[in-house]
Amino acid sequence: MSFQAPKGTFDWIPPRSERVLAIREALAAPARRAGYGYVETPVFEDTALFARGVGESTDIVSKEMYTFTDKGGRSITLRPEGTASVVRAVLQHGLHNGQLPVKLWYSGSQFRYERAQKGRYRHFWQVGAEALGAEDPALDAELILLAADGYAGLGLTGVRLLVNTLGCKECRPGYRAALQEFLRALDLDEATRARIEINPLRVLDDKRPEVQAQLAGAPMVVDHLCGACKAYHEEVRSLLTASGVAFTDDPRLVRGLDYYTRTTFEFVHDGLGSQSAVGGGGRYDGLSEMIGGPSLPSVGWALGVDRTLLAMEAEGLLADESAGERVQVYGVPLGEEARRRMFLLVTELRRAGLTADMSFGAKGLKGAMKGAGRSGARYALVLGERDLAAQAVQLKDLTTAEQTEVPLAEVADILKGKFS
C-alpha cells in the first residue's frame, strides 16, 4: 500500500520548496521594515473563537472548518484564517494596553474544507499583517501599500488592486435594509433567499452567472455611506494615489468573512483562472468586541502564498526551475582515507560560512562529478590518495573546468576569498 497526501493538500519539494520559502520572506519583508513584529499562534484554537470571530453565517464557519473533539472533550478547530487568533493573542497578553496600534505579522498554514481545485486547497499558506487599535486612514493605506510592495518585490507586475468600503455600524444597517429589499424581489433559490436574511452582502459575492445577471441594479454601499465613512474612504484613496499605488474602485467588493467594516481590498491576478484572488484584507473594527474584548478598531490583510507562486509562474518569473545553486562547493573524495578527510574539510567550510556538500556512498570519480554538477556548485574539490600524501586538494572551477592544486590547510581561506 502506498500513501498519498490527503485530497486538497500537497507537498512542497525541492527546488520549488525553495521558491515558496523565498515568497513567504518577500511578502513579509515590507511589513517587517514598517515595524510589524512577528506573532505565532497555535494551529488550532477553541472552535468558538472562529464561530464568533469569523461569523456563523460564513461559508468558512458553516461548511469548511476542520473541527474535532479532543481527548479532553473540548471542541477544537484547525485555524481557517489568522486574524481571529491574532486578536485573541493580543487580548490575552494585554498588548492593546501598550502603545497603539499594535502591529503584528504572521506566516502560517490555514485549513479549509473547500472543493479542491487549482489554486484552492484544503491546506494552504498565508502571510498576514494586522494593525490593531487605531482608526486612521493612513493605517489602512499603509497596509495596502505594504502588500503591494510585497508583490512588487517578487517582480510581479500583473497584480491588480481592488478597493471598496463597507460602511460602519452607523450606515451599514440602512444599506443592508435597502439591499435586502432589492434582493427579496429577485428569482433566487432557497439557500440564497435564506442568505438574504442572514448576510445579504454575501449574495453580491455569488459568482453564478444567473445570480450576477440579476444583480445589475443592486444598491451600492457607496450610495449609503455616512459622512464619516465617506471622508475616511476618500482619505484612504487619496493616500494610495499620492503614493503611486494604482487601484480600481470596486463597489461590489465584499469579502467572505463577517468582521469587515469600512475599507476592504483585494489583490487579484488575471493569470490564475477562477481563483484569481492572491490576497485581501480590510478593516475589522468590531472583531475584538465580538470575541469579548474592548473596542479595538483594526485593519489587516492575508496574502495567499500558494497563489502568489502560481501568479509568478503565470508571469514566467520561475522559468529557470532547475537553475539555482544548492551549494557553493562540492567535495569529491576518492577512496576511504580521502572520504574521512573530505568529511572534515566540508565541515570546516560550512563552519567558515560557505555552503558545501560532498559525494556520499561508494561512487567513482564519474558518478561523484555528476553529483557535483547537479548540486549547482561553482567549485568541486577533488581529493585523491596522491593529493592526501601531498596535503593538497584539486580545486576545480566547474564553470571553466580549470583545475588548480591548493594546500589543504589553505583551501577554506581561498574559497572564502572567492565568494566574498
Give residues in contact with ligand AMP (CB under 6 A).
81, 112, 114, 120-121, 124, 126, 255-256, 277-280, 302, 304, 306-307
Does 255 show up as a binding residue in the annotation?
yes
Which residue of the chain is nearest ligand AMP when measured via CB? Answer: 304
Report the residue number, 121 or 175, with the smaller CB distance to ligand AMP.
Answer: 121
Contact 128, 302 (CB under 8 A): yes
Report the residue number, 126 or 261, with the smaller CB distance to ligand AMP.
Answer: 126
- Match 496574502 to its residue by C-alpha cell: 303
Does 126 show up as a binding residue in the annotation?
yes
Query: What is the Cα–Cα distance from 312 to 272, expressed in whole angstroms?
Result: 10
Does 82 show up as a binding residue in the annotation?
yes
Which amino acid, residue 63? Answer: K
- Where residue 336 falls (left for φ over 0; alpha for ψ -120 to 50; beta otherwise) is alpha
Min dist CB 212 to ligand AMP, Å, is 20
Min dist CB 288 to ligand AMP, Å, is 18
Cβ contacts of 39 within 8 Å, gap of 6 or more: 86, 89, 104, 105, 106
Report the residue number, 60 or 141, with the smaller CB distance to ligand AMP.
Answer: 60
Min dist CB 165 to ligand AMP, Å, is 17
Min dist CB 386 to ligand AMP, Å, is 57
Cβ contacts of 358 within 8 Å, gap of 6 or more: 330, 331, 332, 333, 342, 343, 346
Contact 367, 392 (CB under 8 A): no
Report the residue number, 309 or 408, with the smaller CB distance to ligand AMP.
Answer: 309
Query: What is the Cα–Cα distance from 348 to 351, expressed in whole angstroms?
Result: 5
Min dist CB 109 to ligand AMP, Å, is 10
Dihedral sign for Cα atoms in the order 143, 164, 148, 107: positive
Does 81 show up as a binding residue in the annotation?
yes
Report the residue number, 39 or 278, with the smaller CB distance to ligand AMP.
Answer: 278
Does 40 show up as a binding residue in the annotation?
no
Report the residue number, 163 or 388, with the smaller CB distance to ligand AMP.
Answer: 163
Min dist CB 81 to ligand AMP, Å, is 5
Contact 140, 165 (CB under 8 A): no
Q: Would you state the cell numbers that stand for residue 404, as one nine-digit string?
A: 588548480
Secondary structure of 319-367 in HEC code, one letter for each residue:
CCCCCCCCCCEEEEECCHHHHHHHHHHHHHHHHCCCCEEECCCCCCHHH
* Nearest alpha carbon to residue 125 among 106, 139, 144, 142: 106
Min dist CB 402 to ligand AMP, Å, is 48
Report the residue number, 39 or 377, with the smaller CB distance to ligand AMP.
Answer: 39
Does 284 show up as a binding residue in the annotation?
no
Contact 137, 235 (CB under 8 A): yes
Binding-site positions for L-histidine read: 81-83, 112, 126, 130, 255, 259-260
**Residue numbering of the annotated binding site:** 81-83, 112, 126, 130, 255, 259-260
